Amino acid sequence: MKLLVCADTNVQTCVDFWNSVPDVDTVSVVCQVTDLSGVIGTDETPDVLIARLPHPGLANAEVLSAMQRIAQGIPIIAWVGAASAAGAFNLCYLGADELITDDASLEDRASAITMARVRRQGMKKSDEPEAGVEAEPWRRRLVGGSCSMRVVTELIRLVSARRATVLITGETGTGKEMVARAIHDASPRAGQPMVSINCNAIPGELLEAELFGHVRGAYTGAFQSRLGRFEQAHRGTLFLDEIGDLPFSLQAKLLRVLQEREFHRLGSSETVRVDVRVVAATNANLAKLVEQGKFRQDLYYRLNVAPIHLPPLRERLEDIPELVAHFIEKICRSEQIPMKAIPTETIEWLSSFPWPGNIRQLENTIESAIALSGMRPTLRMADFSALCGSPNHPRMFAMPSEGIDYNRIVGQFEKTLLSEALRLAGGSKKRAATLLQLKRTTFYAKLDALQVEIEDEPAGADTDEEAAITAA
């Protein structure tokens, strides 16, 4: 097997470090990343590339990005002096298939080479045309093709095969639990249970028993023994939601479980060992909580091994059409009603909102609109009155960066106002005009011009007025 090291350092040191690894036949060294192109594609093409980092004058991201462009699918190992867990994850995210440090044993070096080649083979298979949602069913949980969501998908693919603890961060309603479930479904533990617990939903004095279980008589009211969530998730995944709200008194015990994979049930001295992959989520800034002394620094580092950040919906507005279609299909199927259609202009209108409640707010808004649409096959902007009246929605419109069609948007807004006034007036045009403080002649003219649909109009409600106006 041939290795090629890119390193601006002592050549003999590089050769000695790798030449002793079993099955390695030759070790070559180049000083610059650009020198790789003169070797790759020739008879001297290596089986594995090794990037010695840091490289003088270049950021790690630049080195790994350049090597990926030149590598033509050859696996890449990042070789560093030392690395934290989070640093190691970051290098893998930047393009390294494996990571090795200066103090790595001979077995670790051999394992890194093997794993890099295996992982690269897996990536080649996943790039084949037939690989898609069918080949990776966990991707059905992730809706949206924006750049930020593609990054999230790649991160899930990267971390799922390992047991490393994952910390998912993002605002409320961005879909953190959905990502946690995707990680579980994509992992080798997919056939085992995924157990969830919200650290904010259970009082602190009961949370310890919920997490670690208890024996009979452990506390007042403990009439029988009970398994905790860690034991329930044995060989599977435990999702700790709102981890930032975990009481400080329990943080040391959680840290010990993450480090030692063992704990004691409440009221027992028996040691229980578990094999659990932990995924945690929070909408809080844990680093700031650490600074404030409200969250243990060592626990933060232990949780933040593989960080995944979910962007708010306002930063991925291009995903709204796909999300809207997904929620309409999901809700209609759940309610066992015919599929609803939604006009393009309504989707564009929805895409103009900042969505402070993120995806959860969008789903609730779609569900409300479907309920208000009744038996109509098509959703209208008037069905989204819950969104317009939301106390968490301080503005009715957010200007897209590419601009808008002013007349179309104003026309849509006028149509919504007219429809809503008619709804509140029970279909009476006279009362609707009064609600909008418009002359009846102006109101009727706008109804005709904007082609506003009128439903459930009381028989003869406005006949006299219309006759008079027509005669006039």
For the stretch 331-347, pLDDT in tens is: 999 889 999 999 998 89
Domain residue limits, the chain: 2-126, 138-309, 315-463
In this prediction, what percent of the chain has a pLDDT beyond 70?
Answer: 85
- CATH of 2-126 among 3.40.190.10, 3.40.50.720, 3.40.50.300, 3.40.50.2300: 3.40.50.2300
When the pLDDT of each residue in the chain is averaged and rounded to a whole number, the result is 82
**pLDDT of amino acid 410:** 74
Residue 407 reports pLDDT greater than 50: yes
- Report residue 125 as tokens: 């298979």
What's the pTM? 0.59
Cβ pair 99, 83 in contact under 8 A: yes
Smallest Cα–Cα separation from 398: which of 312, 331, 322, 325?
312
Residues with Cβ within 8 Å of 371's Cβ and at least 6 positions away in sequence, in order, are none
**pLDDT of amino acid 321:** 93
131 vs 378, more confident: 378
86 vs 215, more confident: 215
399-425 average pLDDT score:
71
Listed range (208-222, 252-266, 457-471) with the worst mean pLDDT: 457-471
287-311 average pLDDT score:
91
Query: 391: pLDDT confidence band, cut at 50, 70 and 90?
Result: very low
Listed range (38-42, 400-404, 447-451) with the worst mean pLDDT: 400-404
Q: How far is CA 154 from the centre of its chain?
A: 11
Give the other-Cβ count within 10 Å of 145's Cβ.
12
For the stretch 14-24, pLDDT in tens is: 888 888 888 78
Phi-psi region of 65 (alpha: psi -120 to 50; beta: other; left: phi over 0): alpha
**pLDDT of amino acid 7:** 87
- On the question of a common fold for 138-309 and 315-463, the answer reads no
Residue 256 reports pLDDT greater than 50: yes
Enter the CATH code of domain 315-463.
Answer: 1.10.8.60
Q: How far is CA 324 from CA 21, 26, 296, 402, in A?
A: 54, 56, 40, 21
Q: Which CATH class is domain 138-309?
A: alpha beta
